[in-house]
Structure 1
Amino acid sequence: MLVKAGLLIDGTGNEPQADACFAVEKGRIIAIGRIRDFSSEQVANAVDYSGFTVLPGLIDTHVHLFLEGIFDLKERSLRWKDEKDITLIRAVKNIARTIQHGVTTIRDLGGPHNINTVLKQAVRRSVISGPRVLTCNRAISITGGHFHYAGGREADGAEEMVKAVREQARAGADCIKVMMTGCVDFNRQDAGTVELSRIEAEMLFKEASKLGKPVAVHANGIEGVRQALACGATTVEHGALLKEETVEEIVRSSAYWIPTLIPFQRMLDYSEEYNTKSLPYDGIHTVYARHREMVGRAAKMGARIVAGTDAGALGVEHGDLWWEISLLIECGLSAGAAIHAATGLAAQAIGIADEVGTLEVGKRADFIVVNGNPLQEIKNLNKINKVYKDGHLVYQ
């Protein structure tokens, strides 16, 4: 298959190419060039998207497939108690919605009943159609710690941390997810205590490294993020309530920062209408403004900022990645950098850059066709015309 693109954004962060073509064979890109570089027979049978923008399939580095982004707080609290079959069906619905929005790879960072691992295998075996799934299997927390109620693996002490890591690796986890802190308290405007002791955190990271598993760290607040960085976090998830000095530490580290802006935006939207005790408008506004400021500073200083939605969080639906990209732009990233954060850079962050994330020779032919130029108007990323995965049309 030869694909003709009116505008090609290849996901590398380089300048887009007008009137480019690429050839696909057995699900991979085998050549890229101009129309003159291909035979007359190939050109005659080309798939013509010369009136569209073509770019790599998007990568959402932080989702929770088991939960949709409902606002009803009482209903949300019941989701943790749903039986496995209902939760699985809901997750299948979420994964279908994801690929319809041009997201061809996701990383699920925790949920109940090992459902993310089940879906990973179901997609891999072509039982269902959806984005390729990377997973942590079960997120690790201390007893009673953050996310323990949603199928987390509770562990206390160095030895249990080691065992918990080994369990996830045995289950086929692509990464280890650990809850270093809790969530943000918008009334106190802090993230509470750092939940793991230093020795617990160090042993977890040491075992993950030995088993070749990157570590995604849920961390908010200065001390939580500092401990995550000191232990060697691969990705820092959320990272709210930071100061410029902490941002500088992120920049100097090898970590990727996934700030998940949409949940904060959606909580702000919700609190503007309802202003509940746990979601006060003024508190959320203050925290979110600071978070955006720090992301903007980090971008200027050269931090590796990556797009992830935390889909399943309050008001955040699966497939909303284009919105996260637009919020990164509002924080100061260029449109090209923000798209890179959801393509090539995202693939680097989750360890699959040799397979996906960019449209280059040898890579899997995951690409989307959109109306308009997203570099000029980022909302065009949500104007999906077609979605290809491994060279096959999976949605139009």
Structure 2
Amino acid sequence: MILLKAQKVITGDGKTIIEDGGIVYAADTILAVGKAEVLSADFPQAEVRDYGSGTILPGLMDAHIHLGYYWTQPDLHRYNDFMIAYYAQKQAETCLAKGVTTIRDCCGPQFLLETLRLAAEKGFVKAPRILHTDRGICITGGHGHEDGIEEVDGAENIRHTIRRQKKDGADWIKLLTTNRDDICEFTQEELNAGVEESHRLGMKCVVHSGTQPGIQMCIDAGFDTIEHGNFLTVEQAKQMVKNRQSWTPTMYAYHFLAEYNQKVQEVGIDHSNQSTETYSHHLDFFESSVQAYSENFKAIYDEGVTILAGTDMVMLEAPSVPIVEELELMVRYGLTPIEAIQTATQNPARVFDLSEVTGELKTGLQADILVVDGDATTDIEALRNVRQVFLAGAEV
């Protein structure tokens, strides 16, 4: 039995801060949360770890990550199945090092995430709690087809693919239906079929949709979460609230791509780097995405849309698992630090049906805990100062 205490405890619900607080856990389960002084009296036998002026909060969740996305590596031809697995494991370790204890992987090589999850369960490797979408589904020649996404056309074929992906271990189903233009690649009938079949089989579904009219078509289809939604409007947000749909904006990815491509334009394109070559043609899209996020994010939040923090960072040159950078942008656009933290704790736990497992510092939940130096209730950048991470009570 261990008592962790610090100057601040954030429970993860977007509002509760405990001054001079603490948390008691034994094995993998939280026993109590409250004032450290009270907990010390109630659990005199507990081993005490005092983190002083630091902050204790729930382990973070990344709602949109790609552990096995290796397609931007410069030596791509050398990435066989074994190398891809090692790469994904390295990304998983980075998640834990940054305080991310649960992830939703939004598509990667077939069987990779299911195998990594099994390896972690057996204790062969260290990895966060994993939910995944298997490979993802796009139309023939659609967004992501060159990166291993399954190409499927027609409503019945989509239904068949969803059934097979469920058989292969997918927790969620993902469709990708826009790229960086105003074309919605799937038809409304196909989108509807994807949602209907996923829900019929007891699965939730997520969609990559950044532009109009694709965003509206995906809202109408009933996807559980809209990913990116670069040009999501406030009126559409109102519809999402009524439909109980969530939004994973992945803002930092587009901010990074805009800044990166501005630098590329200044120094010249490295034609030997395929990712630079590809992304360099879309600077206008990235810059307009940043502008839209800056104008609409807070207004959409204020409408009551459930927002999930996700990173979606796959560029070779980008920081790995930039969850803190994503939360920092939310604060820049008007959220308080504890509101931003909620998008990486309680919110995804509810959407992922994990509220009885993790997502808050709450009696009876798994002891997924992040300890940082500094006061994260007033300074979101304190999350960069990781002191200790616990996954189900185990130090990682």
2:320 aligned with 1:323, yes or no?
A: no
2:46 aligned with 1:49, yes or no?
A: no
Deviation (angstroms), 1:383: 0.2
Residue equivalent to 2:79: 82
Secondary structure of the residue aligned to 1:338 is: helix
Which range moved further: 20-29 or 381-390?
20-29
Residue equivalent to 1:224: 214
The 1:26/1:288 distance shift into structure 2, 3 A limit, reads same
The 1:44/1:347 distance shift into structure 2, 3 A limit, reads closer
2:255 aligned with 1:265, yes or no?
A: yes
- What RMSD, in angstroms, separates the aligned Cα atoms of the two structures? 2.1
Conserved? CA contact 2:30–2:367, under 8 Å: yes
1:94 to 87, 91, 94: 91
Residue equivalent to 2:66: 64
Residue equivalent to 1:382: 384
Residue equivalent to 1:207: 197
**Gap runs ≥5 in structure 2:** 270-276
Equivalent position amino acid for 1:239 in 2: G
Residue equivalent to 1:305: 307
Matching of residues 1-396 of structure 1 within 5 Å: 1-34=2-35, 35-39=37-41, 42=44, 45-67=47-69, 75=73, 79=76, 82-182=79-179, 184=180, 191-275=181-265, 278-279=280-281, 281-313=283-315, 315-394=317-396
Which range moved further: 165-174 or 24-33?
24-33
TM-score, length of structure 2 as denominator length: 0.90
Alpha-carbon distance in structure 2 between the residues aligned to 1:366 and 1:80: 38
Which range moved further: 78-87 or 98-107?
78-87
Secondary structure of the residue aligned to 2:67 is: coil
Deviations 1:200-258 (A, max 9, x none): 11122111111111101101112211111112111100001233333333333311110
**Gap runs ≥5 in structure 1:** 185-190
Which range moved further: 151-160 or 378-387?
151-160
Q: How many residues align?
A: 382
Conserved? CA contact 1:105–1:132, under 8 Å: yes
Equivalent position amino acid for 1:312 in 2: V
The 1:192/1:47 distance shift into structure 2, 3 A limit, reads same
Percent of matched pairs sharing the same residue: 29
Deviations 1:90-145 (A, max 9, x none): 11111111110111111111112421222121122221112111111110111221
Deviations 1:175-211 (A, max 9, x none): 11111222x2xxxxxx331111122111221111111
The 1:41/1:355 distance shift into structure 2, 3 A limit, reads closer
Deviations 1:149-174 (A, max 9, x none): 22222211111111111111111111
Residue equivalent to 1:187: none
TM-score, length of structure 1 as denominator length: 0.90
The 1:19/1:69 distance shift into structure 2, 3 A limit, reads farther
Which range moved further: 363-372 or 146-155?
146-155
Equivalent position amino acid for 1:94 in 2: Q
